[in-house]
Chain A
């Protein structure tokens, strides 16, 4: 299967991310009503769920743009460098939110459920890793874009 171009893998991934993006927006909007239907309420957890959801939507939005550029056969551009950097910042925000959640649960609420702590710790480390990886990738893409520009302007 083709990776770049009009009918490449980028198009499939973009479609998948678009579904996630718009689905995510709808879920965030109707979440209080959904919970009400099953007899639950959004109280303090809203402070964790909504910022997390928004950060994930930002990451999805950046990647939609990135895969769109794959479709247009133009992956090496400064816009993509910016997109990767923005996604990295959103990942860092996500990691901080999970870290905050871990802090609230262990220090303030003093709940020491091992599974819950492990999940929160895993998410915190995972998103820190993703943020670092995205930052490194954005720097790589920046260098590649500069090389491409230099090559194109060599006559």
Chain B
């Protein structure tokens, strides 16, 4: 099969640590990856995971039903803390999605070959995370059935959204992000769909995958157009990695609340997004390669690289925290000073210090190469970072609103059962979609892996 212009392949394999175990051929790659979908029976573990996550989806649906019937008052939000878990979770999920796009688009443009084996499920993760994220801004509205008023559509009232509001920008940013991610993911899937179509043993599989493959025949013209389209999509997706979370951060920094109104938010949100995204990729990749025997494709080197990205973003995020505190002092603004003081010593100080512990202190262990290569530890650190990044959003949303300008309106917030059930429900939705994805679609891009085989093993890989 035709590949992209290749590097001097053997040099690459020798100079760089392995991103693909040696000895693979095009056929072995295809068989190994497609087997999960086509031949291997569903394992008990898979069924267990699916049942658990599907139950959580039911919890989500129950919560949503109750929420729609009774109102957003079922959550713990109040005046002054009118945004609670919904926005915290929204920002968290959107952030998680970022790693997928970063891996598939930016690393592609930067010719980081090691991304190949993780980009497919990282992209899937992006989609599912954005789907989970999208639930929240929609349902946190008091009257969600009017969500479309945020969209500029022609209407008899001649009313448009209020374009100065960051929530409108948010609406565009998130919907664009979801659309581009979906297209990018789907375009990348097309050659693999054809492979599955050709290898599928069931008539349904052949029809379904055939439909999704859109008549792919693997001709050179197809490949050429595919490559061009994929690169264009990557080019389109690249600014989104930066822009989406920047816009999300505008939700806060455009407001005049002390603790929100700060110019550091855009870069610091983007870094945080990538941070949590890579943590989530690690949390998914480590069990995936273990249970499906994909260590050949997702090698220790991948984990190392991701750990390094996490460490880099950890430092950026840590710098952000430091600068927030510094600026609050440097601004000489009593409200800003108080917000940071309150974060560090007030009723929610536990969340702030836990956040520092999870996001800044513990990940420092990744400086050590031994730590980076000890997979269980890496898994744990990734989990801790996910918790930390969730706490970061909690701290930003809740502690800023908790005590703003007038002491008379200071308050507190605590999540209710329905806050938690909604959050756990979206986690269930995420994993449920992920489990289905693993069984129904190739979790690793076969076509791109074959390119990698060519690069690593040379053209003779055909012969095996």
- Say if A and B assemble together: no
